[in-house]
Amino acid sequence: SRSFSLSNTNNVSQMLTDFNKNFAHCVHVFSVYFIFNIINFVCLRIFMFDSDTVVQMTFVHFLIWTVMT
Average pLDDT over residues 27-32: 82
Whole-structure pTM over 0.85, yes or no? no
Helices (H), 1-69: 2-42, 52-68
Interval 4-14: pLDDT, tens: 566 677 788 88
Distances (CA, A) of 49 to 23, 31, 36, 46, 55: 34, 23, 15, 8, 12
Q: Is the pLDDT of residue 16 over 60?
A: yes
Total domains in the fold of the chain = 1
Q: State the pLDDT at residue 53.
A: 66
Calculate the dihedral angle through the C-alpha atoms of 28, 37, 53, 69, rounding to the nearest 10 degrees: 0
Interval 35-66: pLDDT, tens: 877 877 777 777 665 556 666 777 777 777 77
Q: Rounded CA gap, 44 and 49, in Å? A: 5
Residue 25: give the domain boundaries.
2-68
